[in-house]
Amino acid sequence: MTKKTKVCVDCKKRKPLDDFYRVHRGDESRQARCKLCDNAKRTAGCRAGSGVARGRIIVVRQVDGTLALARVLKAGVTAPATR
């Protein structure tokens, strides 16, 4: 049995499906960009410093007990999440 492959949209190389992250949409259920190209793009985007606060969005409990979204900018630093 042959392994299924896919062509990366960035590097244009044919790679096995294991080299692509899974997604829960689309027919192939894999991203269009291979893991190496995806990681390179994410790293470049983080270093670009576009002035937009980047980071993971988390749910935090405020002092009054309500829940709010916050963006983790770096370890221990949060900011209100805006879109």
The answer to whether 41 touches 10, Cβ cutoff 8 Å, is yes
Would the pTM count as exceeding 0.75?
no
> What does the pLDDT look like over 14-72, one tens digit per residue?
999 999 999 887 676 888 898 988 888 887 766 655 555 556 666 777 778 777 776 66
| Burial letters 2-34, b for 16+ CB under 10 A, else e | eeeebebeeeeeebeeebbeeeeeeeeebbebb
* All domains of the chain in start order, with CATH: 1-50 (3.30.60), 53-83 (no CATH)
